[in-house]
Amino acid sequence: MKALHIITGLGVGGAEQQLRLLLRHLPVESEVVTLTNPGPVADGLAADGVRVTHLGMTGNRDLAALPRLARIVRRGRYDLVHTHLYRACLYGRIAARLAGVRAVVATEHSLGDSQMEGRPLTAGVRALYLLGERLGRCTVAVSPTVAGRLARWGVPEPRIAVVPNGIDLTRFAYDPDARRRTRAHLGLPADAFVIGGVGRLVPGKRFDVLIRALAELPADCRLLLVGGGPEEPALRRAARAAGVAERVLFAGERPYLPDGPPGRGLPDGPPCPDLPDGPLCPDLPDGSSGPRLPHGPNPPASPPSRDLPDGSSGPRLPDGQSPPDSAPDADLPDGSSGLGLPDGPATPNWADGSRVPDLSADGPSGPGLPALASAMDVLAAPSPEEAFGLAVVEALAAGLPVRYTSCPALEDLPPEAAPDAVRVPCDAGAYARALAEVRAAGPGPRTAPEAARHYSITRSAARLMDVYTAALARPVPPPRSPQGVTPS
């Protein structure tokens, strides 16, 4: 089977890193098209041996990108197209149809009750989504909660499949050596009580709640925020205003997976051969996409290029530079292109502006997310609306107690699957009390509960393969008219 994944951008984000992790476990020849910014996850995919093409889309209304995308799909002769994130789902489904591919799957990564990908839902966003959905064969929901939201929107239930996000349990397993090393490198005292917050620094994540809660906690408590985004300056101001700037550490975006060709394939099936390292795959000036080399060397290294409206690939740029008009990776349903993410992990620093010690012992990017999870004592997730809650599940895999406000991944399981995951209102006082209780209880065993094991990436990959098989085998169910459907 040969599949093309189309995604809005490949900056550091949950959907983007989930795609990379899935491709390491799917026994499918896969390639990727990113509509916009080919950021750090694109580099990681290329290092894994996955061919990545940058379409160079300049915004949500760049209609000239559609025929370019359709040509890529047609030339690739893919059996299946899989789209990710709002803009890519809309353009990717249309392009697949234009190219004659009928087996189209779309994953809904971040549909909330009142927002999608961090922006408010509108009637126009919903109507456009439903029109595009009719062109696919299946919409994948990352949780039963999201599946219910899709059904209430008007997506026919036979066209919805639940494939939860997955995690690499082995990588997140608690490592006491990584804990000591990471704390030392970050300047965190060995006896400090470290509260972790993981996610994009955007208003919807409500990390400001944790900063205000920290002000009510003892002086040995630290807040370690892992992620980047436009809310960082406001959070720094909030930390200074609360008098805790010297206790809030901004770690920046952190790598989830190491670079290098993985051994892919499901445990109970034949593995997919390892793929060599290779560059992003630009379209060639003659309109071809270059040789398909799934089991051999990739073409010589060259920087990514961008299709121009006339179908040509445009000039080659110096290594490390992106086209000047390339759009950032954010995918905003209101039609704007949002703010882009940095091109790599930032240097960790405290909210008061002081830098942490040198991190070179952990490589050029410093400690990755699994090592940072080992350095934490608790994860706090105050976001009031989530589609899955991947950071919570990853924290559970690291054996951390978790205090959260919204996590469909846990809400869809029985409480005993994660006994040390407790729901807390999105309120600074409530979080201060809940975190004080965790601190007072002292450290417990750092073992992963059943909930973390339930969301193993191998299980998710196997479920997705079932969806692919069904999409290739069955006819398209007749779509139901979205008119008259009551919004959620």
**Per residue in 427-442, is it b (16+ CB within 10 Å) or e — as a string?**
bbebbbebbbebbeee
Give the tens place of pLDDT for each residue, 215-226.
999 999 999 999
Tell me how long the chain is: 488
Could you tell me what percent of the chain has a pLDDT over 70? 73
Residue 119, CA atoms < 13 Å, CB-side half-sphere: 17
Q: How far apart are CA 104 and CA 94, in angstroms?
A: 10
DSSP state of 296: S
Residue 24 or residue 358, greater confidence: 24
For position 46, what pLDDT does the model report?
A: 92
Cα–Cα distances in angstroms (integers) from residue 173 to residues 54, 170, 293, in the given order: 34, 5, 35
Closest by CA position to 143, among listed 414, 408, 423 = 408
pLDDT at 448 over 90: yes
End-to-end alpha-carbon separation of the chain, Å?
A: 37
154 pLDDT tier (thresholds 50, 70, 90): confident
The partner residues of 272 in beta bridges, in order of sequence, read 264
The values of phi and psi at residue 348, to 5°, are: -60, 140
For position 465, what pLDDT does the model report?
A: 96
Helix (H) / strand (E) containing 66 = helix 65-76
SS3 (DSSP) at 57: coil
For position 188, what pLDDT does the model report?
A: 96
For position 256, what pLDDT does the model report?
A: 60
> What is the DSSP track for 202-238?
SGGG-HHHHHHHHTTS-TTEEEEEEB--TTHHHHHHH
SS3 (DSSP) at 437: helix
For residues 355-370, give the mean pLDDT: 61
Closest by CA position to 254, among listed 215, 280, 228 = 228
Closest by CA position to 352, among listed 445, 244, 217 = 244
Instruction: Tell me the one-letter amino acid at 310.
Output: D
pLDDT at 323 over 60: no
393 pLDDT tier (thresholds 50, 70, 90): very high
For position 303, what pLDDT does the model report?
A: 37
For position 304, what pLDDT does the model report?
A: 39
DSSP state of 80: E
Q: How far apart are CA 331 and CA 445, in angstroms?
A: 40
Give the chain's mean pLDDT: 79
For position 317, what pLDDT does the model report?
A: 31
Q: Which residue has the tokens 């073409």?
A: 299
Residue 278 or residue 89, greater confidence: 89
Contact 167, 457 (CB under 8 A): yes
356 pLDDT tier (thresholds 50, 70, 90): low
For position 86, what pLDDT does the model report?
A: 87
For position 346, what pLDDT does the model report?
A: 55
Q: How far apart are CA 441 and CA 430, in angstroms?
A: 17
For residues 435-449, give the mean pLDDT: 96
Contact 65, 35 (CB under 8 A): yes
Instruction: Tell me the one-letter amino acid at 178.
Output: A
∠ CA 267-273-274, rounded to 5°: 105
For position 40, what pLDDT does the model report?
A: 86
The tokens for 137 are 């064969």
475 pLDDT tier (thresholds 50, 70, 90): low
Q: How far apart are CA 343 and CA 223, in angstroms?
A: 24
Virtual torsion, Cα 90, 111, 13, 388, nearest 10 deg: -140
Contact 317, 56 (CB under 8 A): no
Closest by CA position to 470, among listed 166, 164, 161 = 161
